[in-house]
Chain A
Amino acid sequence: MPACNVNPVLSQALLAGASGQLRNMATTGGNLLQRTRCVYFRDTRMPCNKREPGTGCPAQDGFNRNLAILGTSDHCIASNPSDMNVALAALDARIHVQGPAGERVIAMNEFHVQPGDTPHQETVLAPGDLITHVVLPAPAAGAGACYLKLRDRASYEFALASAAVVAHVAQGRLAQIRIALGGVGTVPWRARLAEAALQGQAPTEQALRAAADQELAAARPREGNRFKIELARRCLIQAVLRAIDTAEKTPEVA
C-alpha cells in the first residue's frame, strides 16, 4: 500500500511544503536538516549566533513574525521551517544514521536540539554521520490524521503555525493522540503537554482549548510574533477536530 494512504499526515505535510519544483528536487534527509528562514541567518551581512556564534541575535527585537515562540533562548529564536519534520514528529519517526562507529537509530523527537547557548548545533548528528533512511511505525488501526498549515498566502510559503495530528477515538474518547506543531518551535515541536491533557478524554472544544493553552503556556513570544500563540491555539484545535473527523470516515486498514 502506498505510504500516502498509511500516513496521510505525512503526505499532507509534504504537499503543503515548498513548491512543486522544490518538492521534486528535495530529499528526506535534506528536509530533516532544513535550515531556518530567519532573515538574519539568511542574510550574511547580519549578525547571527547560529551562523557566527557570539555575534548576537538581532531577531530578538527585530523582524521576527515568522520565528519561534517555543524552545527559544536569549541566543536564538529561529524556527524550524520544515512541514515534513512536523509530521515525522507526530508519527514518532526513527532516523537511521550511519556514522564512523556504525549505525544508530535516533528518535525523531530527539534528533533536533533546542538552541540554548549553542544555536549553531541544530541536531545530534556528528561529523561523519550520514542519514541513510527513516522508518515510520505503522499508525494504530483506525487512527485519523491531519496536517493543517496556516500561512499568509495560499501556497509557496512557510507556516506561521501548523499542526500534525494522529488521533484514534474509541468509545468517544481519545485512545491515542499525537500532536506536533510547526512554525512556532525552534525544533519540530511535539506537543506532549497537550497530548497528556487529552489522552483518554472526550475531544470536546473545552478540552481542546485547555490542552492547547497548557501547551502554549510556556510560549515566550517577542513583539512581532505574539500573535502566534492565538494562531497556534486555533491551529491545534482545528487539526485535532479534523483528524478525528477523518478517523471516523476512514475504514480500518491492516
Chain B
Amino acid sequence: MNAPESLPLGPVGQSTDRIDGPLKVTGHATYTVDHDFPGLVHAMPVGAKIAAGRLVSLDVTAARAMPGVIEVFTRENIGTLYRVAKASGVMVDERRPPLSDDEIAYYGQYIALVVAESFEVAMAAAASVTAQYEARAVDVSATSAADDDMQTEAERGDPQAAFDAAEITVDETYVTPTETHNPIELHASVAVYEDGRFTLYETSQAVVNHKAALVQMLGVAAEDVRVVTRYLGSGFGGKLWPWPHSVLAAAAARALGRPVKLEVTRAMMFHNVGHRPRTQQRVRLSADRDGRLTSLRQDYVVQNARRDEYQEDCGEATAYLYSTPNLRVTWGAAKRDVGSPTSMRGPGAVPGLYAIESAMNELARKLEIDPVDLRLRNDTLHNEDEDVPFSSRHLAECLRTGAERFGWRERNPAVGAMQRDGRILGWGMASASWMAQRLGATVAVTAQANGRIRVATASQDIGTGTYTVLAQMVSRVLGVALDRIDVCLGDTALPSGPLSGGSMATGSLVPAASDAARDVANKLIQTATEGDDAPFAGADPDSLELVDGQVRRKGQTDGVGFMDILQRARLSQLSGNGRSGSSKADPGADERSTKSFGAHFVEVSWEPAIARLRVERVVTVIDGGQILNPKAGRNQIEGAVIMGLGMALFESADYDPETGAVLNSNLADYIMPVHADAPELDVTFLDHPDYALNELGARGIGEIGLAGLAAAITDAVHHATGVRVRELPVTVEALLEAPLPDGQ
C-alpha cells in the first residue's frame, strides 16, 4: 500500500526521550498506590488455604478484636456483587464475583477482606482469620490430556496423508510451564466513594473496560464510576482485565464511606491475578528432501481454571507463518484447581511459536539444511490460512539481515564444535510473528490560549511510551514542539481510548490523534479568519494553512501563532476531535492480512566443567511497520528478549500437589533474569511502513520480541551441549546430562 498523504513524518520516527521520564526518575509520577486521601484506610484480602472444596465457617473474632481494625467483610456483609455479562462484550477472566458463594476453586481465593487503619494492622488481622473447609482432592497435575474432544482451529489439505507419505518427519511434544507476569508494581486499587460516585484508581491496562466491568459488578450507573490509571508499573497482560480485589476495594469504600487502598501481596500475584497457563503441544512436520513443508500439525492442550474459559491460543501464528498445503491445528483444555489464566505478553503465539519453531529447528537438523535456509524455503507472501495476501511481510529480509548481523555464516552446525575463550558456543535462531490490528479510539487535541497543546484520550501508558508517541503524532501535524504538548491519559473522564495490549495501542491511536490534530488546525484557521480582530479577517480558510503552530497564507513564511489567534478572539481554548474504528471494519479488511514478523539469532556459552550456561548475545530483527519512536521501540524489544530469556531458562510457577498453592510464590524462588543475565543485545527495525492500519504505516511492537526467542535459545543449547530440551525451562538438571569433554 502507498502512503495515503504526503505530510512528512517530522518528529515521528525519531528516537525521542520519554516526555514522562523526568517525572518517573524523580518519583513524581503518581502510580496507583501513590494516591492518598484524608481518612484513607487499608484493606487486605484473606485467601483460602485449600484449592478445591467449600468454605464451611470463618472465625473473624480475633481480627475484629484487633485495635485499628474497622471491618471484616465476608460473604455475609459485603453486599451483592454482580457478574459481568458475557453478552456485554466487557472483558473479565475470573467471572465469579468475589465472596459470592462458598465454593473454593483455587488456592488463595479470597474468602474475606479485612479493613484497618493501617496496612500493618490489616496484614496482621488478615493473618488471624481462620476458616473451616470441606476440602475436595486437589488436582493441579501437569498431565494434560484434554477434558473433551479436541477442537479444530485451522485446517487445510490432508496433513495425515502427507505426513504418512513423507520421507522426513518430526513428531515431538513441547511443554511450557505456568508462568506469572510479576511486574514490579503489584496490582492495587484505591477506591474513593463520594456522593454516590466512585473514583477508582486502578492498576489497569484498559481503564475503559475496567470501568464497564465495575459498573456491572457494583450495580451502578455508568456515570457514577470513573477509573484512573495515570502510570502503570508494567502489566504484561496481567492488568488487562479487572481481578476480584478491585471490586472488593470499591465495595468496602462504599460500605465504609472512607477511601480504601488495597495492594495485593507478591504471593497473591502468583494466585489471584492470572498467569500464562501450562501448555503441552504435539507438533508434527513433514518435508520433502528440499526442505519444503508437506504438512504441519499442532495439537495443543492448555491448562485452565475450573470455572473460567480463557483460551491460550497457541495456534495464533501457526496457520499462516509458513507455506504448506496440508495443515491442521487442534486444541483442548485440561481444567485444574488453579486460578484463571490470562493474557501474558504475546499470549498464544509465544508458547505456540516456541513449539513450532523448535520443531522447525529439529527438522532442519534432520534435513541437514541450515535453519535459516529452511525458513526461507517455506516463506510466503500469502496468508494461506485466510487465503489473502499479507499487507506487508518481510520475514525473509528479517532472516537475512539477522544472519548477516550475527555472523551466522561462520556457524559450524556440529554439536560442541564452536568454542571461544575455553567455552563451548551454541548458536540458534527462530522466526517470530505477532498479530497487528487497530482498535477503535477517540482523541481530543486542544489548543490553549496559554500556548500549550493538550492531547487527551482515556488510553493508558503502561510504561511503553504512549505519552511520548502521542505527543510525536500531534507535533507532526501541528508543528508544535514536544515540550509545548501535554498528554493526558489513563482516565475514563477523557475521550474513550483503546486498551494497551496486543501491541495495538500505538497503531490504534494514530488515526484518531492525527485527525484530532487536523480538526483543531482547521478550527484555528477558521478562527483566524472570523471577526474584525482576526489576523486573517475575511480570508478564505482554504487559502490558509497551519505550519509550525502558526496559521499563515499558503506559500508564505510569516504566520500568526495559535496562542495569538486564541487570545485575540478571547478564546481560552479550541478543541479538535478524532475518531477511528476497528481495522476489522475497514474497506478491504477481509482482502489482506496484517501481521508483524521478526527473527532472532542467539549465542549461548557452555562450561561443562561447572555446568554453567549463559546467553551471550541476541540479534533481533523486527518487521513491525514504521517505528514511531525507535528509542522506545528498541526498549520494548530488548525487554521482551530478556523476558524470553527468562521463559527459556528460568521461569516456572510450581504448584504444590497437596495444597494447590504455588510454592515458589516470591521473587527469590520464582527465578527471572537479573541484569547480570542480560546478554549483548542488537535490535534492528526494518521500518517498512504498512499503511493498512494507519497513515503512518505503524503496526505495533512489543510482544513480537518475545515470540520465537525460547526456540532460538533451546536450539543454541542443543548446539552447545547436545541436549534437546522440549520442556521449558532449560534447567541445570537437564544440562548435567550433556557429556563432559576429555573424560572430566
Q: Which of B49, B611, B676 has the most CB of A within 10 A?
A: B611
In the docked arrangement, what's the CA distance between A2 and B296, Å?
A: 65
Which residues of chain B in 632-672 are interfacial with respect to chain A, using CB atoms and an 8 Å cutoff? Answer: 649-650, 654, 656-659, 661, 663-666, 668-669, 671-672
Chain A residues closer than 8 Å to B658, beta-carbon distance:
58, 62
A189 contacts the other chain (Cβ, under 8 Å)? no
Interface pair A160/B654, CB less than 8 Å apart? no
Interface pair B663/A63, CB less than 8 Å apart? yes
Interface pair B656/A227, CB less than 8 Å apart? no
Interface pair A158/B668, CB less than 8 Å apart? yes
Q: B610 is contacted by which of A153, A157, A234 (Cβ under 8 Å)?
A: A234
A123 contacts the other chain (Cβ, under 8 Å)? no
- Beta-carbon contacts of B562-598 to A below 8 Å, as 1s and 0s? 0000000000000000000000000000000000000
A51 contacts the other chain (Cβ, under 8 Å)? no
A35 contacts the other chain (Cβ, under 8 Å)? no
Instruction: Pick 6 A–B contacts, CB within 8 A, sort by A.
Output: A62-B657, A153-B676, A155-B674, A157-B671, A205-B744, A231-B736
Chain B residues closer than 8 Å to A39, beta-carbon distance:
663-664, 669
In the docked arrangement, what's the CA distance between A230 and B734, Å?
A: 12
B149 contacts the other chain (Cβ, under 8 Å)? no
B612 contacts the other chain (Cβ, under 8 Å)? yes
A148 contacts the other chain (Cβ, under 8 Å)? yes
Chain A residues closer than 8 Å to B288, beta-carbon distance:
none
The count of residues in chain A whose C-beta lies closer than 8 Å to any C-beta of chain B is 31
Assess A66 versus B611: contact at CB under 8 Å? Given A39-B664, A152-B649. no
A118 contacts the other chain (Cβ, under 8 Å)? no
Q: Residues on B close to A: CB < 8 A?
A: 49, 127, 267, 609-612, 614, 649-650, 654, 656-659, 661, 663-666, 668-669, 671-677, 731-733, 736, 744
Interface pair A153/B663, CB less than 8 Å apart? no
- Beta-carbon contacts of A177-220 to B below 8 Å, as 1s and 0s? 00000000000000000000000000001000000000000000
In the docked arrangement, what's the CA distance between A156 and B661, Å?
A: 24
Chain B residues closer than 8 Å to A40, beta-carbon distance:
663
Nearest CB of A to B626, in Å: 36
Interface pair A153/B674, CB less than 8 Å apart? yes
In the docked arrangement, what's the CA distance between A17 and B377, Å?
A: 49
Q: B656 is contacted by which of A62, A148, A150, A153 (Cβ under 8 Å)?
A: A62
Given contacts A66-B669, A155-B675, 11 further A-B contacts (CB under 8 A): A39-B663, A43-B663, A44-B127, A62-B663, A152-B671, A152-B731, A154-B614, A154-B677, A157-B674, A234-B611, A238-B609
Nearest CB of B to A37, in Å: 7
Interface pair A153/B609, CB less than 8 Å apart? no
A45 contacts the other chain (Cβ, under 8 Å)? yes
In the docked arrangement, what's the CA distance between A158 and B661, Å?
A: 22
Interface pair A42/B611, CB less than 8 Å apart? no
Interface pair B673/A150, CB less than 8 Å apart? no
Chain B residues closer than 8 Å to A9, beta-carbon distance:
none
Interface pair B736/A227, CB less than 8 Å apart? yes
Chain B residues closer than 8 Å to A230, beta-carbon distance:
611, 736
Which residues of chain A in 215-251 are interfacial with respect to chain B, using CB atoms and an 8 Å cutoff? Answer: 227, 230-231, 234-235, 237-238
Chain A residues closer than 8 Å to B676, beta-carbon distance:
153-156
Interface pair B49/A45, CB less than 8 Å apart? yes
Instruction: Please name the residue on chain B nearest to A225 by beta carbon.
Output: B733
In the docked arrangement, what's the CA distance between A40 and B610, Å?
A: 29
Nearest CB of A to B526, in Å: 59
Assess A45 versus B609: contact at CB under 8 Å? Given A66-B669, A154-B676. no
In the docked arrangement, what's the CA distance between A155 and B744, Å?
A: 26
Nearest CB of B to A242, in Å: 10
Interface pair A63/B649, CB less than 8 Å apart? no
Nearest CB of A to B178, in Å: 14
Nearest CB of A to B124, in Å: 12
In the docked arrangement, what's the CA distance between A40 and B658, Å?
A: 12
In the docked arrangement, what's the CA distance between A227 and B611, Å?
A: 11
Chain A residues closer than 8 Å to B731, beta-carbon distance:
152
Interface pair A227/B661, CB less than 8 Å apart? no
Chain B residues closer than 8 Å to A58, beta-carbon distance:
656, 658
Q: B664 is contacted by which of A63, A156, A160, A231 (Cβ under 8 Å)?
A: A63
In the docked arrangement, what's the CA distance between A126 and B513, Å?
A: 70
Chain A residues closer than 8 Å to B659, beta-carbon distance:
45-46
Chain A residues closer than 8 Å to B609, beta-carbon distance:
234, 237-238
Instruction: Please name the residue on chain A nearest to B615 by beta carbon.
Output: A154
Nearest CB of B to A26, in Å: 15
Chain B residues closer than 8 Å to A155, beta-carbon distance:
674-677
Q: What are the 10 closest A-B residue pairs judged by CB atoms, nearest first?
A: A154-B676, A155-B676, A63-B663, A227-B733, A156-B674, A154-B677, A39-B663, A230-B736, A155-B674, A153-B677
Assess A160 versus B610: contact at CB under 8 Å? Given A37-B668, A63-B663, A152-B671. no
Instruction: Please name the residue on chain B nearest to A64 by beta carbon.
Output: B663
Interface pair A154/B674, CB less than 8 Å apart? yes
Instruction: Please name the residue on chain A nearest to B730 by beta carbon.
Output: A152
In the docked arrangement, what's the CA distance between A221 and B663, Å?
A: 20
Chain B residues closer than 8 Å to A156, beta-carbon distance:
674, 676
Chain B residues closer than 8 Å to A63, beta-carbon distance:
654, 656, 663-664
Which residues of chain A in 125-143 are interfacial with respect to chain B, using CB atoms and an 8 Å cutoff? Answer: none
In the docked arrangement, what's the CA distance between A238 and B659, Å?
A: 40
In the docked arrangement, what's the CA distance between A95 and B612, Å?
A: 34
Chain A residues closer than 8 Å to B650, beta-carbon distance:
152-153
In the docked arrangement, what's the CA distance between A234 and B675, Å?
A: 26
Chain B residues closer than 8 Å to A42, beta-carbon distance:
666
Interface pair B649/A43, CB less than 8 Å apart? no
Nearest CB of A to B200, in Å: 30
Chain A residues closer than 8 Å to B677, beta-carbon distance:
153-155
Instruction: Please name the residue on chain B nearest to A229 by beta carbon.
Output: B736
Nearest CB of B to A232, in Å: 11
Q: A238 is contacted by which of B610, B664, B733 (Cβ under 8 Å)?
A: B610
